[in-house]
Amino acid sequence: MTSTSGPSGPPGPQSDRDTADSRADSGRLHGRMLQVSRLATIGEMAAGIAHELNQPLTAIANYAQACDRLLGKPDPDLSDLRAALREIAAQAVRAGEIIRRVRTLARNQPVERSPADVNSVINEILELMQTDARVHRARLRLELAEDLPQVSIDRVQIQHVVLNLVRNGLEALSEGGSEVREIRIGSCRTAGGEVEIAVCDTGPGVPAQELGRIFDPFFSTKASGTGLGLPISNTVVRAHGGTLTYRPNQPSGACFCVLLPPETAE
């Protein structure tokens, strides 16, 4: 019997709609995963954030009590009062800035890329990283190169990647490796012209047999790890036209490097 069916033609409108719907679903899924990862990172940093907020709030309370004591004197020194009130205002601004940074990181906002200097992107979250490092009894060291070309990025997404890498490094320090408990964050321009952000720790490093799986979803070397931090970070960096790579740190530890194309690249 001769078949009456002809050759399959090009995909029709329905096929195009299905493809578009599939891509939209994939984009929404990635957005939700990124949001969950952000909130998980912030949750893990909660102790450090609480400590950071406690400092300005304690200062506000102390200066307010000082104002009350000054006003209780028969002839209060107005210059001391003004100084204390200025300190109260400054500490309130500091606390508000901490909350603003946390809210910015937690907010599920649309991707907004713009030219940015990676050093300023890192410095905006420096207090959060330093606080987390203090909680883990570790030192945070910056080695930021000057005169780097700008990169076209979504600042919040790249900041989340850096925070996640720093958090991973701090957790690695608890496993030992070196007597020096240190996280180094560096920036430079590579020989290929890319802008590099490197986050290096002095922990035990990644075992050779696990190197091929560190960016696989749900693979984690930690008993309580979700295995989503590095894969999501890798997806974010690739969406920016860059790459996330690993190299051993010397004499011990791990270095995760975010490589981003300069904003002026064709």
DSSP, collapsed to helix, strand or coil, labels residue 198 as strand
- In this structure, how many other beta carbons lie within 10 angstroms of the beta carbon of residue 244? 21
The whole-number average pLDDT for the span 122-144 is: 89
More confident residue, 126 or 212: 126
Determine the Cα–Cα distance for residues 266 and 263; give it in Å rounded to an integer.
Answer: 8
User: Is pLDDT of 36 > 80?
Assistant: no
- The pLDDT value given to residue 52: 66
The owner of tokens 């080695």 is 143
**Number of DSSP helices (H) and strands (E) in the chain, helices first:** 7, 7
Is there a contact between 203 and 211 (Cβ–Cβ < 8 Å)? no
- The pLDDT value given to residue 248: 92
Confidence of residue 70 (pLDDT cuts 50, 70, 90): confident
- The pLDDT value given to residue 17: 61
Closest among 126, 60, 61 to 94, alpha carbons compared: 60
Largest CA distance in the chain: 114
The owner of tokens 């078949």 is 3
Which helix (H) or strand (E) segment holds residue 260: the answer is strand 254-260
Closest among 16, 89, 7, 99 to 53, alpha carbons compared: 99
For the ranges 25-39, 112-126, 189-203, the lowest mean pLDDT is seen at 25-39
DSSP class of residue 253? S
Closest among 228, 221, 175 to 38, alpha carbons compared: 228
Confidence of residue 196 (pLDDT cuts 50, 70, 90): very high
DSSP, collapsed to helix, strand or coil, labels residue 200 as strand
Q: Report the CATH architecture of 113-260.
A: 2-Layer Sandwich (3.30)
Contacts of 36 (CB under 8 A, 6+ apart): 228
Give the number of residues written for the chain.
Answer: 266
Percent of the chain whose predicted confidence (pLDDT) is above 70: 70
Residue-range domain boundaries for the chain: 113-260
Determine the Cα–Cα distance for residues 248 and 256; give it in Å rounded to an integer.
Answer: 9
Average pLDDT value for the chain = 79
Give percent helix, percent strand, percent coil of the chain, each to the nearest 5: 55, 15, 30
Residue 245 φ/ψ, nearest 5 degrees: -125, 165
Confidence of residue 172 (pLDDT cuts 50, 70, 90): confident
For the ranges 76-90, 106-120, 127-141, 212-226, the lowest mean pLDDT is seen at 212-226
DSSP, collapsed to helix, strand or coil, labels residue 216 as coil
Residue 53 amino acid letter = L
For the ranges 8-12, 82-86, 202-206, 207-211, the lowest mean pLDDT is seen at 8-12
User: Is pLDDT of 165 > 60?
Assistant: yes
User: Is pLDDT of 251 > 70?
Assistant: yes
- The pLDDT value given to residue 188: 96
Give residue-wise pLDDT tens across range 58-69. Answer: 889 888 988 988
Determine the Cα–Cα distance for residues 216 and 237; give it in Å rounded to an integer.
Answer: 15
Beta bridge partners of 185: 142, 199
For the ranges 44-48, 91-95, 170-174, 197-201, the lowest mean pLDDT is seen at 44-48
- In this structure, how many other beta carbons lie within 10 angstroms of the beta carbon of residue 156? 21
- The pLDDT value given to residue 94: 79
